[in-house]
Amino acid sequence: MIKYQGMEFQTCEKVYEPAEDTFLLAENLKVKKTDRVLEIGTGTGIIAILTSKIAENVIAVDINKYAVECTLKNSKLNQSDIDIRLGDLFDSTEGEKFDLILFNTPYLPTDEDERIDDELEAAWDGGPDGRLVINRFIEDLPAHLNPKGRVQLVQSSLADNEETIGRLIEKGFEVSITASERYFFEEVVVLTAKLS
Domains of the chain: 2-195 (3.40.50.150)
Contact at 8 Å (CB) between 45 and 106?
no
pLDDT of residue 115: 45
pLDDT of residue 57: 97
Can you tell me the distance from the alpha carbon of 4 to that of 2, in angstroms, rounded to the nearest whole number? 6
Contact at 8 Å (CB) between 119 and 65?
yes
- Structure confidence by residue, pLDDT tens digits, 82-91: 999 999 999 9
Q: Considering the chain, what percentage of its residues have pLDDT values greater than 90?
A: 79
Cα torsion through 50, 56, 60, 66, rounded to 10: 70
- Which contacts qualify for 30-37: CB closer than 8 Å, 24 or more apart? 30/100, 30/150, 30/152, 30/178, 30/192, 31/55, 31/100, 32/99, 32/100, 34/99, 35/98, 35/99, 35/100, 36/97, 36/98, 36/99, 36/100, 36/146, 37/98, 37/99, 37/100, 37/101, 37/102
- Structure confidence by residue, pLDDT tens digits, 161-196: 999 999 999 999 999 999 999 988 889 999 999 998
Cα torsion through 88, 9, 2, 115, rounded to 10: -20
Check whether 152 has a pLDDT greater than 90: yes
pLDDT of residue 97: 98
